Amino acid sequence: MLISFIMNRFADQLKESGRIISYEPCIRQVLVEREDCKDIFDFLLEIELEDSSSQSAVKMELWGQVTCYKGNKLRKPEPNKTYEIRETIVEGLGLRRSLQEQQASFRTIHITVGPTDYTYGWFADAKRSAYDLSLYPSAQIDSQALFKEMNILSSSSRTEEDYDLLLANIIDNSDSQVGKFIAETLNELCNWFNLGMPISQMADAQSVLLDQLYQSTKAKVLESISASKRGGKGIKDTAKKVLLGEDTADPLMLKTMSRLWSGNPFLQASLEAESSWENWVSKEIPEPEPGQLLEQYICTLWRRVDSSRLILRRLLLRIHSKDTIEYIQDTDITGLTEHNLYGGAHSASQSYLISSYIATKFLNSGIDSPEKLKDILKSRESVALLKASRRFEAGNGTNIKPSFFYVEEALSDQYDVVDFERTNLEAPISYYKEFGSSSVKPYQNMKVICDKRRCHPIAILKAKYFRNQEFARRAKEESFVGITTKYKYVEGEFLERYQNIPLIMFVDMSQELVPPAYAVCRLVTAGWDVYFSIQELKNFLSQLNSIPEEKTD
């Protein structure tokens, strides 16, 4: 509601000053459906202005997306925001291609509410290159206070009219962070309008890329949609069952599981501990020393150097509460991240700080001695929590990549699937690195398929599990990866990065799932060759490599 208030206020000012003829009130949450998308845009403002060349009225559509970044205590970028920016860019460029196809008069706007230091530096450059106007709050805005004040205003309003009235009353209040934000944003919008609402040439150029792919892949889109209706391989679904104790006779799955165990040793350690819990407890959880403080006992357990710490640390962080633990950055301990929290070798000071943090949680829960802590660690409640952790990490852990592992194993008889460093191909770095000075790292989880006989690259592979509920969102995210990998930006021109080497996306999904056709279309029209079947993938590679292929599944 805040942004729609600002956009309507912007239109009011333009109309009152005679710079536009009229406008339609801002519409929120506008659904846009096309063959390749089903996206919701945060606002649409239609203004009518006079065309100086023809002396006639022209309607201009101002489409916008809004992103909120509340920040964190450490004021550091968080990796999970990368998914959001990818989706935001794809939404903006996809809408642009469609509106240009309709020959509409339009501009696209992106407004960020929150601090820029919460995201990676290239985000701002990317938004400026994908939207006609991208706005961020100035450094004079206190983002924490801004969101706090927004919550107060929202809770103080019964209706949208009440909310708008409150906003109108604080625009000129220099003590109000919301008032400052409104005034800043209005000023930026008016300045942009006065400049003639300049069009982003880079956004137009990327829209042309999308349209070229859209026009050239129509037959491939139909083939991929047809293939998607036959269901998925269900690799990750099967792997998760095996991780939870189910047997399998599939030799490729057995090889996959071996790689999974090594990638996340907690999974195997927890399974072994659960199967003989009393023995594990007596061996791995020591008796407290006489006079030992709770915090000291926690530190002793935390600093274990064998595989038991993979279990103990998870229990220590969660057993005091039935609620989800805070994201690790919220502990405000320098050097502790989600990647090294459970298995990392922490310094004495880090161990002391995390132990103090955990001890406070236990004390607040009534666990005030080492003896009480040991009792709860020995309990069946701990076993249940351990099982829950294993189930969660079996399906969500960053090192759990059964889909990719399985595909690699399935291809290993005739192909080598190798890292880019082992080939003469350039690294898959998003072309957005050329739009600013910020560092952009190469994409992970992509490899090169090479012919074993001739040792040359024939395709680039990514294999990923798509959940039913997230299929469309994942497709949007991977569309960004596809087009920014397929092309590179050199001296003002987009060129294909890997000539005659296709980008393959193996989509692993439930065997019963039929994904949305528009999501499959979006993947294909972003540069991916999409496959759902191991056999069909091998047939395609055989055609590329001219090797006869025997049917295997």
Q: Six-digit token pair at 385?
A: 């929590």
Q: How far apart are the C-alpha atoms of 287 and 282, rounded to whole Å?
A: 9
Q: How far apart are the C-alpha atoms of 16 and 19, rounded to whole Å?
A: 8
141 in Cβ contact with 112 (< 8 Å): no
- pTM exceeds 0.85: no
Q: How far apart are the C-alpha atoms of 129 and 123, rounded to whole Å?
A: 10
Strand partners, 463: 506
CA nearest neighbour of 304 among 315, 292, 319, 320: 315
Helix (H) or strand (E) holding 94: helix 81-101
- Count helices and strands in the chain by DSSP H and E runs: 21, 12
Q: Six-digit token pair at 508?
A: 């692993």
Strand partners, 444: none
126 in Cβ contact with 435 (< 8 Å): yes
Q: How far apart are the C-alpha atoms of 331 and 234, rounded to whole Å?
A: 37
CA angle (455, 461, 462) in 5-degree steps:
155
Q: How far apart are the C-alpha atoms of 397 and 299, rounded to whole Å?
A: 26
CA nearest neighbour of 129 among 433, 435, 430: 435
Place of tokens 């949208």: 160
Helix (H, G, I), strand (E, B) or coil at 153: helix
Q: How far apart are the C-alpha atoms of 110 and 6, rounded to whole Å?
A: 13
Cβ within 8 Å of residue 306, ≥6 positions away: none
Q: How far apart are the C-alpha atoms of 113 and 106, rounded to whole Å?
A: 23
pLDDT at residue 417, as a whole number: 96
* Amino acid at position 506, single letter: F
For the CA atoms of the chain, what is the radius of gyration? 27
| Total residues belonging to the chain | 553
Alpha carbon distances (Å) from 356 to 301, 334, 361, 406: 13, 14, 9, 42
518 in Cβ contact with 506 (< 8 Å): no
Q: How far apart are the C-alpha atoms of 434 and 423, rounded to whole Å?
A: 23
Alpha carbon distances (Å) from 18 to 11, 12, 247, 473: 11, 10, 74, 42
40 in Cβ contact with 91 (< 8 Å): no
Q: How far apart are the C-alpha atoms of 286 and 311, rounded to whole Å?
A: 14
Return the percent helix, strand and coil in the chain, to nearest 5.
Answer: 50, 15, 35
CA dihedral for 101, 526, 77, 362, sign (positive or negative): positive
75 in Cβ contact with 469 (< 8 Å): no
Q: How far apart are the C-alpha atoms of 140 and 121, rounded to whole Å?
A: 19
Strand partners, 38: 33
Q: How far apart are the C-alpha atoms of 56 and 213, rounded to whole Å?
A: 36
Tens digit of each residue's pLDDT, the chain (553 residues): 899 999 999 999 999 999 999 999 999 999 999 999 999 999 999 999 987 776 788 999 999 999 887 765 555 655 557 888 899 999 999 999 999 999 999 999 999 987 776 667 788 888 999 999 999 988 888 888 888 888 898 888 888 888 888 898 888 888 899 999 999 999 999 999 999 999 999 999 999 999 999 999 999 999 999 999 999 999 999 998 888 778 899 999 999 998 888 878 888 888 889 888 999 999 999 999 999 999 999 999 999 989 899 999 999 988 887 655 544 445 678 888 877 888 899 999 999 999 999 999 999 989 999 999 999 999 989 998 988 888 787 766 555 689 999 999 999 999 999 999 999 999 999 999 999 888 889 998 999 999 988 779 999 999 999 999 999 999 999 999 999 999 999 999 999 999 999 999 999 999 999 999 999 999 999 999 999 999 999 999 999 977 544 455 5
